[in-house]
Amino acid sequence: SSHLSLLLSLLGLALATLLFADATTFRGLLFARGAQGAASAAVLCGGMSLIAETHEGRLRGRAMGAAQTGLALGLLCGPLIGGLSFERLGRVRTFRLAAAILGANALGMVGLMGLGSGEGEAEMVSLQHTKESGLDGRKGAVT
């Protein structure tokens, strides 16, 4: 399911970010950057697929637009925040802080997606049944 793949890719991104904290050679930094790039791409794909699965019609476009806007803001503000963190905390603590934020995000996702209780899967089955039956969720409306 996209829930699990998104969660695993986010944890992979946190681990790749931790690699930066401990990398001391060019080869280590290169490996950490490759791992972080792969995990970041997986997070983006997993996030978009989760939005596509859970949003219908016009709401899907708006949700994807909001997600892409958040990505753009992160790309815009990230270097500034990272630079200030680097000056105040140093290299190792800056990367560990980023990894901790990613880990906290993963824990929040577990709670929001209902992975622990199986609620997320039940919602997906219900959504799939609605799509297959031709009903769009409005009373008496057939697509």
Identify the DSSP state of 117. T
pTM: 0.71
pLDDT, tens only, 57-111 = 889 999 999 999 999 999 999 999 999 999 999 999 999 999 999 999 888 888 8
For 7-53, write each residue's pLDDT tens digit.
Answer: 899 999 999 999 989 999 999 999 999 999 999 999 888 888 888 88
Cα–Cα distance, 25 to 91 (Å, whole number): 14
Q: What is the pLDDT of residue 54?
A: 86
Q: How far apart are CA 18 and CA 94, in angstroms?
A: 10
Q: How far apart are CA 72 and CA 60, in angstroms?
A: 18
Residue tagged 């753009």 (tokens): 72
| CA distance readout (Å), 81 to 23, 32, 46, 115, 121 | 21, 20, 25, 32, 37
CA distance 78 to 110: 25
User: Could you tell me if 44 and 17 are in contact, meaning their C-beta atoms sit under 8 angstroms apart?
Assistant: no
CA 136, CA 110: separation in Å to the nearest integer?
28
On whether the CB atoms of residues 7 and 106 are closer than 8 A, the answer is yes
- Spatial distance between the Cα atoms of 128 and 136, rounded to a whole number of angstroms: 11
Task: Give the position of tokens 């409005």.
Answer: 138
